[in-house]
Structure 1
Amino acid sequence: MSSEYRIHGIELSPYSVKVRSYFRYKGIPHRWIPRSLDVGGEYQKYSKLPLVPLVVTPENEGIQDSTPIIERVEASHPEPSIHPADPVTKFISALLEEFGDEWGNKWMFHYRWAREADILSAAGRIARSMMPAVDEAQLANGIAMVRERMVPRVSFVGSNSVTAPQIEDSFRDTLAILEPHLATRNYLFGNRPAFADFAMWGQLYNAWTDPTPGAIINATTPNTLAWIHRMLWPRIEGDFEPWSSLAPTLTPLLQRQVGRLFMPWTVANAAAIAKGSDEFSVELGGRTWTQKPQKYHAKSLIALREKYQAVGDKGALDSILDATGCLAGLRG
């Protein structure tokens, strides 16, 4: 039996490249299979949802959803670990992994489909990746189809005329926080990648490939740009750091982005799902955010709360989470 995993994904999917980066770091034999219209047999056979990435294991089992994929593979390939040994730092990494997947996706998706230059760039690249052997007329039709399908979907991540400035402010503030943090270390939690790196990176790498957010990153955050390049082929360059050395530059991310914006948003979203509401509004950092609720994020909040409950001695962790506004949402 082959020991090779097969990863079906596309370069413009932050979750696909997140999984690929993880496999590269772990040194696990794998094959990257671009998801295109003419490579559909195995994908159609093993996928339960029309989403990427799809990972097919050496035992020919299909797995979808990037976080469960990584958690499943990490259980069978535990070294080198992506989790710090310290329970406090380990949970904060898991919290930032969730933040990257669920809030960071708002940055990437909004910027990709909000402006004409980004729309043309993304629609063209997606169409070419899905239809690699077509003539110009067919490609033009494909680009138009991608555009028609994707632009209206910005509402799914909460992007609208009211929230657009909030999303872009959040993106810029996160970059401003990460830049000094990454000036003295190669990865978010030290000199080896953690769980959080893969999720945060998948969104920021994809944003960097688009004209508008890419120009912001290139012009303002050289340390973050170096990390984006480094995470394409991550490797161990040292050890994880203790929270005491990470806290001065990572606490602002927990405070200004996770506790102030993401946690109240995800709690309000879950409450709206529980009530069966068609729309919800919540105050985030003094501004009103309104959108349709997202079912998946309610499920991922449950999983995050389970990880929090699994922490044994919560004393030190709760002190950090309470001071940054993250604790109440995790306790439910």
Structure 2
Amino acid sequence: MTYRIYGSELSPYSVKVRSFFRYKNLDHEWIPRSPAVQAEFQKYAKLPLVPLVVTPEGEGIQDSTPILERFEASHPERSVTPGDPALAFVSALLEEYGDEWGNKWMFHYRWRYQPDVWSTAERIAQQMMGAQGTLAVAQARAAVAERMMGRLGFVGSNDKTEPLIEASFAKALGLIDAHLASRPYLLGGRPAMADFGLWAQLYEAATDPTPGAIMRASAPNVMAWLRRMLAPQSEGDFEPLRDLMPTLMPLLTEEVGALFLPWSAANAAAIARGDKSFSMRLGGTDWKQEPQKYHARSLTEIRRKFQSLKGACGLEPLLAESGCLKFLAGYRS
């Protein structure tokens, strides 16, 4: 029973799903999306986005987190969900932080600096054009670069927010590196949902010139984890929350509670009001951008998960201490 994963090596959400399938030992075929397979892709895809998983029965599934959750439920062996409900929620929250806030780091660096722009545009163009020749690739590269640089605003990247995005990247990188100094994965001896979400964004960043150089110079434990997560293996079990918190709490407090969730709540509020843009004070920076509809849906989903698990022992005090609780409970103080 072989699954087909249509994706791109340059898509964090694609490599996230591939890494998960590898860990679960799910038989699959990796199919790079290109014009050669476009007709087949369109047959199964509801949206023009990768990744797309096609089941042996011919069902097309999209959106990385629902894909992981579906196959975690149907293939519970080698579980990526801790048995402790509080730790399971922390894992889901960190996955969400990686998917939605970590994507800002990756996308900003990829399309803000010229060496990164040309590096990525070249790889995309080669994937698109195949064997059509040097001139075709060069023309496609220029078109990709122009289009993607114009989309920086979609993740909130602009001249005013640039310092905050880059400071957040450096801060998170240092905190994650310290946390991984004494364990192979974020929550202990085996990968969790948190690993797949954060890893995918940082893996992509490591392939780009500017953030990759920063990572290689300052985060050796992160770099080792990136390699490990390409084909992750269980090296033990999840650790208890009390053992993880000394080095995980700073990430929850300084990044998730101080930046990601306040931004996510403001974004959702702007969409609810029907605003074309929103402004807020975030991390000492005047942040302004167009609201992102998908992120409002994902905030609703993480709040739903919180409501279902909020009675878990130790969860609410942990979230209150980190500054996350007021945003997850749906109110602000």
Please indicate the TM-score interval, normalised by the length of the shorter structure.
Answer: over 0.9
How many Å separate the matches in 2 of 1:130 and 1:36?
5
Aligned mate of 1:60, from 58, 61, 73 = 58
For the residue of structure 2 that corresponds to 1:39, the secondary structure is helix
How many Å separate the matches in 2 of 1:130 and 1:6?
19
How many Å separate the matches in 2 of 1:320 and 1:243?
10
Shift of 1:234: 0.3
Name the amino acid aligned to 2:113: R
Name the amino acid aligned to 1:54: L
How many Å separate the matches in 2 of 1:233 and 1:131?
29
How many Å separate the matches in 2 of 1:134 and 1:169?
41
Q: Aligned pairs, how many?
A: 330
How many Å separate the matches in 2 of 1:88 and 1:106?
27
- Unmatched 5+ residue regions in structure 1? none
Shift of 1:91: 0.3
- Unmatched 5+ residue regions in structure 2? none
Aligned pairs (5 A) from 1:47-86: 47-86=45-84
Shift of 1:315: 5.1
How many Å separate the matches in 1 of 2:305 and 2:40?
33
TM-score, length-normalised on structure 2?
Answer: 0.98
Name the amino acid aligned to 1:158: G
Give the aligned partner of residue 278 of structure 2: 280
Q: Which moved more, 1:314-323 or 1:239-248?
A: 314-323
Shift of 1:40: 1.4
TM-score, length-normalised on structure 1?
Answer: 0.98
Aligned pairs (5 A) from 1:113-192: 113-192=111-190
Shift of 1:312: 5.5
How many Å separate the matches in 2 of 1:104 and 1:274?
24
Aligned mate of 1:103, from 101, 108, 113 = 101
Give the aligned partner of residue 34 of structure 1: 32
Give the aligned partner of residue 295 of structure 2: 297
Shift of 1:288: 1.8
Name the amino acid aligned to 1:214: G
Contact 2:189 2:236 in 1 (8 A): yes
Runs of 4+ in structure 1 off by over 3 angstroms are none
How many Å separate the matches in 1 of 2:310 and 2:92?
15
Shift of 1:145: 1.2
Shift of 1:286: 2.4
**Structure 1 residue 234 corresponds to structure 2 residue 232:** yes
Contact 1:264 1:282 in 2 (8 A): no
Query: Cα deviation per residue 1:177-233 (whole Å; 9 max; x = unaligned)?
Result: 011110100000001000010010000000000000000011111010000000000
Tell me the percent identity. Answer: 60
Query: Cα deviation per residue 1:226-263 (whole Å; 9 max; x = unaligned)?
Result: 00000000010111000011000000000000000001
Aligned mate of 2:266, from 248, 256, 268 = 268
CA RMSD of aligned residues (A): 0.8
Give the aligned partner of residue 193 of structure 2: 195
For the residue of structure 1 that corresponds to 2:269, the secondary structure is helix
For the residue of structure 2 that corresponds to 1:310, the secondary structure is helix
Give the aligned partner of residue 210 of structure 1: 208
Contact 1:38 1:131 in 2 (8 A): no
Query: Cα deviation per residue 1:28-70 (whole Å; 9 max; x = unaligned)?
Result: 0000000011111220101111100011011110011100111
How many Å separate the matches in 1 of 2:84 and 2:132?
52
Contact 2:8 2:32 in 1 (8 A): yes
Contact 1:269 1:293 in 2 (8 A): yes
Shift of 1:125: 0.6
Query: Cα deviation per residue 1:135-154 (whole Å; 9 max; x = unaligned)?
Result: 11111111011112111111
Give the aligned partner of residue 322 of structure 1: 320
Aligned pairs (5 A) from 1:11-22: 11-22=9-20
How many Å separate the matches in 1 of 2:117 and 2:51?
22
Contact 2:280 2:286 in 1 (8 A): yes
How many Å separate the matches in 2 of 1:298 and 1:72?
21
How many Å separate the matches in 1 of 2:7 and 2:62?
11
Shift of 1:313: 2.0
Shift of 1:314: 4.0
How many Å separate the matches in 1 of 2:202 and 2:116?
15
